[in-house]
Amino acid sequence: MIAGQHSHNLDGIVVLLALRQRNMDLLERKAQAVSDPSSPEYGRYLERDELYGISGSSAYNVDLVEKFFSELPGTFQFSFGKDFARYTCTIACVEKVFNTTLRIQKGRVAPGTTPIRASEPVRLPVNIQNALEGTSLNAPLFMPPHPRQSKVMPFRYKRSGRTAPRVRPMMVAGDQFISIHFVAYCKDKVVNQDTVQNGICRNSPHSRLITAFDVLVLQTATNWQKLVRVPAVPDTLGEKVAKTEDNQTCTEFNATLGNIQNYASTTVRIRSLFSDGSVSDFSDPSEVMPSWPMAYTTPSLLSRNYRIPMHEPVRHPRNSISVAEFLGQYYNPDDLDAFFKLMGVREWGTRPKLSLIGENLPMAGSVLGGEAQLDIQYITSLAANVSTFFWSVPSIELATRQEPFLDWLMQLEDTDDSEIPLVHSVSYSDDALTMPFWFKRRVNEEFMKLALRGITVLVASGDDGVSGNFVAKEGLKYCGVNREEFPSSSPWVTSVGGTQLAQENVPVCGYASEDVMVQCPHDGEVVCTSDKGGGITSGGGFSSDFPRPWYQHEAVEHYLHQTDNPVPSQDKLKYNKFGRAFPDLAALSSNYLVLMGDDLTAMSGTSASTPLVASMVARWNEDRLQQRMPPLGFLNPLLYQILSKYPSAFNDVQIGDNRCSRGSACCPTGFAAARGWDAVSGCGSPDFQLVAKILREDAMMSFRSRFSGPAQPLALDAVQGPGWMFLIVMMLLQSLITGFVVFVLMGGCRRWKLVHAMRPLLDG
């Protein structure tokens, strides 16, 4: 059965006990073999019983831990394989059992967090500690059942002191348009309070009517500008009541300007034209935050860009996908239904659209659940009719203050082979340096065990570029070091980076000389970066914890020695060039439209590209399952072999780097995109149809002898000459041999069972 909801006692703490495991080296060799298309073991996944018969903890450790905790207050439960245990008790109880101190934060607690703080490491008796790899304390989250969106204070305008209009700092930008909000000042330097209908500045003493506005649109990077005259009439200007800094009312206008070039930093200046022929000064462009006009990302745009057959349903009953959600992220089913209607997504009624594992607070989803809403709205749109699981783990890991990954992985272990989702999308990743090594190693081993079960796990590569979110929070002093994300840097997951659309998507675009100027009219993908309007910067680099895995050696070596965009020297950027390199591939990650209650909101992140790729994997799995073949499982060996043999299966992202964080802070150095694999966009973004074709053809070659359909009848009249007699003789001989083999097997069945039962146990 599927692992049920683990309801966390709001007064208690859940302690996950990670017992020491056996035979990890053996399992790693087996995981490599079943995941490598060049291996004869490819696709021969282990059943859960087989897997945990090999691994798991020793009987001695299991008995020791069970005896110790069963005599204590609280509840104690082993995982299926007895390599984990869950101990739940009150705060006071946990403090006593684990010889630690837990503090309760006073004051306001933010939704999706916890007031509980761990102030000391846990301490257990030596024999118990030796039986464990580590302990993970997980506290329940605080989440009000009906949270409210924090109010955004409206912009307040100066009441007087200028004649130039004042533009609100934040513009709205879309596909080849911008929309601005502004107030006008009359000739007496006092803010206008009149409507367009009455006449702007009509009631202002010593002034003249404003008859029009000149809006100068500036794109300094490309030396492009455009002057638009906007008449002061109701057909061209919208209006509403606004406030000044001293709480007086004024009239705010808004205008939308079209035919603006996409993919360039855009700002505006504006001036007023008075009825006496005079004009005001132009406004200061620094008063406006630059915006980047570009198309919004929708399911239909993704379907066109990647050639995903969005309206063709997935039908195989075993095909399934899951989104893992942490830190109080929930979704609203009503928003999902409304999103389908709004985006023209067809609904299929052949099975329930969504199954819930864990808890969900729909009202919280509409207000605070941006991550979860994005995940579920796009993965169900693009993998139509697939069995989808919303896997919610509503707690927080106290030592790292981050996601309780081990709790989620234990739940997957407790889920039957027949019901565990085949594809898992994880939009969460954190600074690897903030996590203890035992925790990262154990999470990595659990991903390896999922690979042995034929499960695909995709993880977002991060949104803060080469040096992580410390640059955004603390400044440029954290530059110069590659701070990798985890679990996206695990060798046993597929790490997904981010791209955005641009016209300058190959090096020749934007080339200019005295004789030649090149402009590329078609959109293509470049690295998603915050300094180019992407909202975030794709994470990528090299792990300091895990060595480079076998499947990516050739691709990474090529990147380290290429000269298109040479990798930084160690004196400019410290990184482990021998470590696991990530991401593995990338996809569009910017400007996704997400429905939050009644409003559409634009969101960006590798947490958007990850469910996009996961939906592709579910569709690729459909082909295999329909042909009675095993699912794709761990993708990376296959991806890198496709890159080597069929490089055109990926859109090669060659423009951009990841030196910036998601904010405005940019380090001097980062990793740059290049031809082939690179440490920003991986192999590039997949061409869905081409990859599907390659997988289909390669699968027939790999599995034809093991997973073939019924044999086709042979037409004897097609055999010419005396060869037909020879063929009949050979068929009779084959029948005799088959009969003899069946007789021997039936007679030796009991002896085989005895020998099989006497195989020596593995070490441990």
Contact (Cβ atoms closer than 8 angstroms) between residue 246 and residue 275: no
Residue of 544, 607, 615, 681 marked catalytic: 607
Q: Give the E-state strand segments of 141-176 in sequence order.
A: 156-157, 166-167, 172-174
Cα–Cα distance, 249 to 252 (Å, whole number): 10
* Token pair recorded at residue 692: 């599907």
Contact (Cβ atoms closer than 8 angstroms) between residue 85 and residue 78: yes
Contact (Cβ atoms closer than 8 angstroms) between residue 464 and residue 487: no
* Token pair recorded at residue 82: 């007895």
Distances (CA, A) of 243 to 149, 247, 248: 22, 6, 6
Cα–Cα distance, 525 to 690 (Å, whole number): 17
Pairing of strands 320-326, 387-393: parallel
* Token pair recorded at residue 558: 């090529």
Residues 6+ apart with CB under 8 A from 195: 239, 251
Distances (CA, A) of 147 to 328, 338, 391, 408: 12, 21, 21, 25
3-class SS letters over 595-628: EECCEEEEECCHHHHHHHHHHHHHHHHHHHHHCC
Considering just the CA atoms, what is the radius of gyration of the chain in Å? 31
Residues 6+ apart with CB under 8 A from 740: none
Residue of 325, 371, 485, 504 marked catalytic: 371
Contact (Cβ atoms closer than 8 angstroms) between residue 183 and residue 157: yes
State the virtual CA torsion across 311, 312, 315, 318 in degrees, nearest 10: -80
- Cα 136 to chain centroid, rounded: 24
Which residues fall in the annotated binding site for Ca(2+)? Answer: 652-653, 676, 678
Whether a cis peptide bond, with omega within 30° of 0, leads into 760 is: no
375 belongs to the catalytic site? yes
3-class secondary structure, 702: helix
607 belongs to the catalytic site? yes
Cα–Cα distance, 365 to 361 (Å, whole number): 6
Residue of 375, 463, 484, 622 marked catalytic: 375
In 264-325, alpha helices (H):
299-306
371 belongs to the catalytic site? yes
Contact (Cβ atoms closer than 8 angstroms) between residue 618 and residue 17: no
Contact (Cβ atoms closer than 8 angstroms) between residue 408 and residue 446: no
Residues 6+ apart with CB under 8 A from 641: 37, 38, 551
Within a 10 A sphere around the Cβ of 554, how many other Cβ atoms?
A: 14
Contact (Cβ atoms closer than 8 angstroms) between residue 640 and residue 555: yes
- Would you name the residues annotated as active-site residues? 371, 375, 607
